[in-house]
Amino acid sequence: MTDFDAAQFRELCGRFATGVVIVTTLDSSGAAAGMTANSFTSVSLDPPLISLNIDRTAEFHRAIEAATTFTVNVLGADQEALSRRFAQAPGPERFSGIGYRRTETGRILLTGAIATIDCETFQRFPVGDHTVVIGRVVGGEAHDGRPLLYFRGGYHNLS
Ligand SMILES: Cc1cc2nc3c(=O)[nH]c(=O)nc-3n(C[C@H](O)[C@H](O)[C@H](O)COP(=O)(O)O)c2cc1C
């Protein structure tokens, strides 16, 4: 197999602008867990499926690996700090002092997200050093607002 330089891989893939999401679920102890991701994409309309790629070394991987449901919170333009927090802060500290709501069905919905997409885990399979998680969309809410964007390793807004 041909080796390819990791920095060049990032350089190439970083040219693809994305939105930013925080995936939330409950861990095995019932505590809220969440992680910043930009690997979100829609996969299928019928049935309605989305995908996320989760690093197997991430702490959050343990939670998503066991989760039967999760929510994709699409971040708004003013939520860069939240994106950084859910990528860098230790897991247990991520939810302290931020706005979120835990629903009766165990959904964790972040205040200010421009969309919350409720999923049931449909499929999971290992690919390379990540796990591809396929979610079946079972509900959600869309709100007005502009998106947070990610491009070449930095945050941007629509101008
Ligand atoms: C903008 C952005 C997008 C990211 N996208 C992903 C992703 O799609 N998949 C992933 O596994 N990690 C992604 N990460 C990295 C994770 O957020 C980070 O490794 C994780 O939160 C580490 O914490 P944990 O080990 O406590 O889960 C992204 C980070 C940032 C800042």
pLDDT tens string 93-135: 999 999 999 999 999 999 999 999 999 999 999 999 999 999 9
Q: Give the atom of ligand 1 at the shortest distance from the alpha carbon of 60.
A: 27
| Structural domain contains residue 79 | yes
13 found inside a domain: no
Among protein residues, the one whose CA lies closest to atom 20 of ligand 1: 87
Q: Look up the CATH number of the domain holding residue 79.
A: 2.30.110.10
Residues of the domain holding 93:
18-152
Is 87 among the domain residues?
A: yes
Closest C-alpha to 36, from 159, 156, 148, 152: 148
Distance 23 CA to ligand 1 centre (A): 10
Shortest-distance Cα residue to atom 21 of ligand 1: 87
Number of domains composing the chain: 1
Residue 80 lies in a domain: yes
Residue 157 located in a structural domain: no
Ligand 1 in contact with 60 (CB < 6 A)?
yes
Residue 113 lies in a domain: yes
Distance 70 CA to ligand 1 centre (A): 16
Domain assignment of residue 30, yes or no: yes
Separation of CA 18 and ligand 1 centre (Å)? 14
pLDDT in tens, 22-51: 999 999 999 999 999 999 999 999 999 999
Whole-angstrom distance, CA of residue 122 vs CA of residue 89 = 29
